[in-house]
Amino acid sequence: MKEVVVIHLNSGEETEVVRFLGQDVRIRRIGCGGDAERARSVVARYDGQVDAIGLEGYPAELELGGVRVPHEVGSTLPAAAARTPVVDGGGIRPGLERWGVILADRAQPGIFSQKRTLLVPGLNHGGLAQALERRTPHLRYADPEVFFALPDFPGVGSKRTREQAVRPTLEYLKGQPFRRIQPQAGKPGQPRASTPFEWADVLAGDVGAIRRYAPQQLKRKTVVVEWATEEDAEDLRRRGASILVTMMPALDGSNGLGRWSAATVEAVLVALRARPDLPLNEDTYLDLMADIHWTPHIRYLQPEEAGINRFAFVIHPLSVHFIHKHPWFRWTKYLPDELVEEVAAHLPPLYLSRITGAQSPTTGQRVEGILLSLGATPRQMMKRDERFTYDRLNKAAKMAERMGARIMGLGAFTSVVGDAGITVAHEADIAITSGNSLTVAMTLEAAKKAVRLMGATDLTKGKAMIVGATGSIASVCSRLVAQAIGNVVLVSIEPEKLIELKRLIQRETPGCEVTIATKAGDLISDCDLIITATSAFGQRVIDITKCKPGAVICDVARPPDVNPAEAALRPDVLVIESGEVLIPGDVDFGYDIGLPPKTSYACLAETCLLAMEGRFEDYTLGRNITMERVKEIYKLSQKHGFQLAGLRFGERYITDEDIAQKRALADQYRRDPELFERVKREAAEKLAQMPAMSKGVTNRKSPVPTWAVAAAAVGAVGLLIGGRRK
C-alpha cells in the first residue's frame, strides 16, 4: 500500500486510507502548528519511510499575477528529505484549478459567468484567477485586505497587475510566517473592511481566509475554494452563503466534498506514479492528472435554493406615464413629458425585482425570474437605430447572467426592434427568446374563448381579419386562424409580403378564402374576429365604428392599438387584450408589471416555461415564428399547468355581466338595422373628434432642446448613483 505524509498548519495527527485511481493509499496528516522547524524534523523523520510528503500551507514559492519569488523558509523544507519527494501542491494546483473551473461550469452552466468575483486571496491561485477571468470581466483581488488590511493596493486590482507593483508585496510576504501567508479560520486581530466582500457575487481562494476576513453575512454568495471540511461548509451555511464549490478532487472516489488540499492530492499522485524515476515536472503532472475523472463538488448550502432554474425578462415603459409612476422617478412628473421620455431612453438597464414562487405541479421544478427594465418607451425605440436598443439589451443580458439566469425573454417592443432578437441572441452568452410563440398560442386561445362567449357556435363559418398580418406574431396567427376559420382578411402596409403570405396560406390550407389589403377600411364590417398586432404610432389602426354587431377585437399589440375611448364608442363590440397567463405556483413578481397579481404576459410566461422545462436555448427569434414552435410551446404550457387568465381590456377583467350586456346590444342591432346604422353614424362622428393615435401616443410635437436633455440626464444619473442598483 502506498503511503504519504501530509504536514499541515494546525495541530493533531490522524490517518486515513483512501482508494484513488484503483489503488489504496494511506494518508497520515501531522500538524506542526506553522512551526517551520517542527515541519523540517517531520520531513526528515519520514524521508525514505513513505512514498511522498506533502507540505500543506508551507509553500516553497509565492506567486501572484505571474510573478514568483521563493519563500525564505518554505523553499528550504524539501531539502530536509534526500530520498522521498516533497511537494507543496504548487505543481498541480494551477492546472487542476483551471480544469476544475471548466468542469464546474459544465456541471452548473453560468455559475461563474459575468459574476463579480473577489479572490481571497489571489496569492498562489494563479490558475483559478486565469480561469475565472475568462468568464467574467469583474474580477478583483482581496490580497490588500487579507495581508495588509488596506482597502486597495496599487497594481493588484483586476487587469492591472504589474510586476513592479506585485513584486514588493511578494518580497514582503516571502519572510512572513506560514500562518500569515495562509490565514486560518478564526477571529482576525484587525477586522477587514466588508465593502469588497459585499461587492462580490463569488468569493474564490482559501476557505480559511474567507472564514477569517469575510463579514458574517454572506447571503447569496458563491464560495469557490481549493478544499474545505464539513465544519467549513456549516460555517458558510450559517452565514448565508448559497453555494460552495471545492476545486480539488475527492480522493475517496466519491462525488462528495473535496476535503483534500492540493498538497495532499499532489503527494498522492506522486506516490502513484507508474515509474518513480519520472521527473516531477509539468509533463509528468499533466499525464497523472489525465487519469483523474472527477467534477468539482458543488453544494447548495441553502436547501431552499437548490434546484432552482432561473430566467430573466426585460420590460420597458409603455409610455412616459409609466416612468412617472415608478417610485424612483416620481419627480419627473414636474418636467415636460417629451424631455423625460428622451432622457429615460439613455438610462442603462435597471434591476427591478425577483420573480419568485413559480413551480411546475407536474415535475416539481422551481423557477425564479429576474425582472429588468430598459428606459426607452416604444416611440423612443422606433425613432432610433437598432443598435441603440441592441446595446442596452446586451448589457441587460450580462446583468441577467451575473444574477444566475440562463435564458432571457424580450418583452414588448424589445422583441420588435430590428431582427426580433436574432442579433441579441448572437451577441449574448445566454439563451434568448422573444416569447412570441406562447403569445400566439394564448392569443388564439383567448380569441377563441371570446368569440364563443359572444355567441358564435361554429367558428368555421365565420370570418377573421388580421391587421399587421405580415409581422412576426400576426403572420403565424394568420396561418393558424386560416386553418380554423377558412375565411381571412390580411391587412398590412407591406403589399409584397402580403402576397407571399396569401400564397403560403393557400398552399397550407387549400380552400381557404384569403383577401389581402393595405388598409382595413370597410372590409372590417363583416368580420367576426379582428386580431390587431401592429407597431404603428400616431395613427388609427382600425375604425371600430365599422365593426359588425357583436364582433371581437383581440389587441395583441403592446402598447395596445385600440384605446378605451375608441372601444367605448361601440359597447356591443368585445375588445380584449392578448391572452395573459397564470403561471403555476404562488407567483410574486415583486413589481407592478401592469397586470393583476399572479398574472403574466404570455411572452414572460414563455421564458418562465422554458426555464421550467430546462430548455435553455434560443427559442422564438426573428419574424418567422413556426407553427411547430407555437404548437410545441402550447403543449409544454399544458404539461406544466400554465393557464389562460381571465379576459381583460383597459386594466380590468371582463365580467359575465359585461358579456351579457354586449350580447344583448348586438342582438338588438341585428334585429333593428336602422338603429344600428344610427349607432354607427353617431359613433363615427364622435370618433372624428378624437385625435388619431395608436400605442396611446400621437406624433411628437417638437424636438427637445439639447440643454434640457443634458440637465435632466444629470438629475437621472444622480438618482442612479444614490439609488438602488444591482
Same domain flag for 171 and 204: yes
What's the rounded mean pLDDT across residues 414-439?
89
Q: Which of 285, 305, 325 finishes a domain?
A: 305
| For residue 15, pLDDT beyond 90 | yes
Query: Average pLDDT, whole number, for the chain?
Result: 89
**What is the per-residue pLDDT for 290?**
82
Same domain flag for 151 and 229: yes
Same domain flag for 330 and 290: no
Decide if 246 is inside a domain: yes
Highest mean pLDDT among 36-40, 137-141, 443-447, 597-601: 36-40
| For residue 378, pLDDT beyond 90 | no
Contact 498, 522 (CB under 8 A): no
Task: Please tell me the least confidently modeled range out of 87-96, 271-280, 449-458, 495-504.
Answer: 271-280
| For residue 326, pLDDT beyond 60 | yes
**What is the per-residue pLDDT for 161?**
46
| Strand partners for 459 | none
What's the rounded mean pLDDT across residues 93-115?
92
| For residue 646, pLDDT beyond 60 | yes
What's the rounded mean pLDDT across residues 582-608?
92
Decide if 716 is inside a domain: no
By residue range, what is the domain housing residue 30?
2-87
Same domain flag for 288 and 376: no
Same domain flag for 516 and 629: no
**What is the per-residue pLDDT for 699?**
52
- Summarize pLDDT for 288-324 with one digit per residue, the tens: 888 888 889 999 999 888 889 999 999 998 888 888 8
Contact 103, 134 (CB under 8 A): no
Q: Tell me how far apart the alpha carbons of residues 291 and 284 are, in angstroms, rounded to a whole number.
A: 12
Decide if 114 is inside a domain: yes
- Provide the domain count of the chain: 4
What Rg do the C-alpha atoms of the chain give, in angstroms?
A: 33
Task: Please tell me the least confidently modeled range out of 71-75, 163-167, 199-203.
Answer: 163-167
On the CB side of 424, CA atoms within 13 Å amount to 36
Specify the residue for cell string 444566475: 404
Q: Tell me how far apart the alpha carbons of residues 22 and 27 are, in angstroms, rounded to a whole number.
A: 15
Confidence of residue 697 (pLDDT cuts 50, 70, 90): low
Same domain flag for 289 and 381: no
CB burial of residue 303 (10 Å; 0-12, 13-18, 19+)? exposed
Q: Which of 36, 61, 87 finishes a domain?
A: 87
Confidence of residue 712 (pLDDT cuts 50, 70, 90): very low
Decide if 722 is inside a domain: no
**What is the per-residue pLDDT for 538?**
66
Same domain flag for 484 and 573: yes
Cell of 258: 473535496
As a residue count, the chain comes to 726
**What is the per-residue pLDDT for 585?**
95
Contact 590, 352 (CB under 8 A): yes
DSSP letters spanning 202-215: EEEE-HHHHHHHS-
Decide if 629 is inside a domain: yes
Q: Percentage of the chain with pLDDT > 70? A: 93
Q: Tell me how far apart the alpha carbons of residues 441 and 452 are, in angstroms, rounded to a whole number.
A: 17
Angle at 526 between CA 525 and CA 532, to 5 degrees: 70
Confidence of residue 617 (pLDDT cuts 50, 70, 90): very high
CATH code where residue 466 lies: 3.40.50.720
Same domain flag for 57 and 152: no
**What is the per-residue pLDDT for 277?**
79
Specify the residue for cell string 376559420: 485
**What is the per-residue pLDDT for 216?**
94
**What is the per-residue pLDDT for 557?**
80
Of 283 and 367, more confident: 367
Same domain flag for 683 and 563: yes
**What is the per-residue pLDDT for 693?**
60
Contact 143, 168 (CB under 8 A): no
Q: Tell me how far apart the alpha carbons of residues 621 and 101 are, in angstroms, rounded to a whole number.
A: 31
| For residue 711, pLDDT beyond 60 | no
Q: Which of 54, 87, 120 finishes a domain?
A: 87
- Summarize pLDDT for 151-188 with one digit per residue, the tens: 654 444 444 444 566 888 899 999 999 999 999 999 98
**What is the per-residue pLDDT for 561?**
83
- Summarize pLDDT for 222-269 with one digit per residue, the tens: 999 999 999 999 999 999 999 999 999 998 877 789 999 999 999 999
Same domain flag for 461 and 560: yes
| For residue 603, pLDDT beyond 90 | yes
Of 560 and 586, more confident: 586
Of 578 and 4, more confident: 4
On the CB side of 282, CA atoms within 13 Å amount to 2
Decide if 672 is inside a domain: yes
- Summarize pLDDT for 451-499 with one digit per residue, the tens: 999 988 777 788 999 999 998 888 999 999 999 898 999 999 999 999 9
Same domain flag for 484 and 617: no
Confidence of residue 720 (pLDDT cuts 50, 70, 90): very low
Same domain flag for 384 and 466: no
Confidence of residue 43 (pLDDT cuts 50, 70, 90): very high
Peptide bond into 559 cis (omega under 30): yes
Decide if 701 is inside a domain: no
| For residue 150, pLDDT beyond 80 | no
Decide if 326 is inside a domain: yes
**What is the per-residue pLDDT for 698?**
59
**What is the per-residue pLDDT for 394?**
94
